[in-house]
Amino acid sequence: MHTKSIKELSKLLHKKTISCVELTKIFLERMEKYDSKLNSFITVTDELALIQAKNADKRIAENKTTPLTGIPIAHKDLFCTKDIKTSCGSKILDNFISPYEATMTNKLKQAGMILLGKTNMDEFAMGSSNENSFYGHVCNPWNLQNVPGGSSGGSAAAVAAYLTPVATGTDTGGSIRQPASYCNLTGIKPTYGRISRFGMVAFASSLDQAGPMATSAEDAAILLNHMSGFDVQDSTSMQEPVLDYTATLNNSLKGVTIGLPKEYFDENLTTGVAVKIDNVLTELERLGAKLKEITLPHSKLSAPAYYIIAPAECSSNLARFDGVRYGYRCKNPLDLEDLYARSRGEGFGDEVKRRIMVGTYALSSGYYDAYYLKAQKIRRLIADDFKRAYEDVDIILSPTTPTPSFAIGNSSQTPIEMYLNDIYTIPANLAGLPALSMPAGFTEGLPIGVQLIGNYFKEANLLNIAHQYQQVTDWHQQIPEGF
């Protein structure tokens, strides 16, 4: 039962073959049995889940349902959930109980979904390995000695181990797509502004975007239908009509032109990943797609630009965590300055401190023009590269990551080398474009993903290609041993 898709589970629930309460208990029992190996959850909401499941059974009996009614879900612990701890993986918010609900999580609650719990993550979404959490690192179900990717690693590990059918994540520079690649999932970062950011704790406001993580493109599409939409509470929310992303999943790929940026197939790409990407391209050609080499000349500047812009925005956003109104407060402060310094020093982890310092420096007097302003100009050049590319192609395809998952505690990687794990995912965030990672096979016994990048609000095109590919391959149906 736990390996069935959303569509299959929904049919069983509506036929009353299984009740919402029974289904919820199956996943809660799996979480209790397996999560000690993974550490994918920070908070388990078992009592709430059973209450919501009973209400979902009533809705089904009264025929007041959606395709998501009774389907369990887990939320990344970056989304505010009313009366439930929202920690962002940080000591500084370890005692924070949110007084309100994020718009996106509320949409899914109104659709009748069952909240199983809040998932582990890199602190304030800062990381590519899920080793930066106050609650300890998350393990990859495909190899417990390896990272699941970050920052949405808890969500990725939970879905990959079938502890939940689907989960939510956030993506600032690749934090949905990179863990999706490492854990053999389909994860999509929609167009910036497609999903409301209200109630999503901000890391870098101009880059952050929520999205679904699932085993298949079809499940991701169903979830995205209910997550998307304009929100008056979010000034960055876009007034674009919400499409039915499932309606075009079965469209033919004949005539679809896929661009292959030469800059993405470089020396950073391992041979094992490159071979799997070639296999994907062969399969897509068989399905009728056309391939065309393109160039995105400024893409190599994306990582340097990102690691100026994102830390600068995080420096501003995290200034609110000062030990005064909520969150962690140091003991016996000498004065106000000591309260601020010690609360933040004791409450934030090393990676968060590193990025705050970099961002504060980049925004400081005398350096703003040299760093932050120049990075924003590069951002525009990157967006213009994509704009020109979409005059000739419909979709852009690339690797999601240069390598498969790496070992936990990999001491050979410096912070800068760790940042380069996102080298292929960052450009889409800088340009605000939708991008998806889908399973592409295995190398060294570990899963890897292929990335699809679309033009603005063309999420349906990405999901269509991924779904068609998944109809002729079974990579997304593989189950990690022991789960």
Q: Which residues are catalytic?
A: 76, 151, 175
Q: Which two tokens stand for residue 440?
A: 């592409």
DSSP structure class, residue 386: H
Question: Rounded CA gap, 15 and 275, in Å?
Answer: 44
Question: Rounded CA gap, 386 and 427, in Å?
Answer: 9
Residue carrying structure tokens 């009313």: 82
Does 316 sit behind a cis peptide bond, omega within 30 degrees of 0 on the bond before it? Answer: no
Q: What is the DSSP string of 419-435?
A: HGGGTTTHHHHHHT--E
Q: Which of 62, 176, 199, 60 is nearest to 122 (CA)?
A: 176
Q: Is the dihedral of CA 88, 90, 94, 99 positive or negative?
A: negative
Q: Is the distance from CB of 213 to CB of 153 less than 8 angstroms?
A: no
Q: Is the distance from CB of 183 to CB of 142 less than 8 angstroms?
A: yes
> Which residues does 456 contact at the CB level (< 8 Å), separation at least 6?
191, 432, 433, 434
Q: Which two tokens stand for residue 443?
A: 């190398």
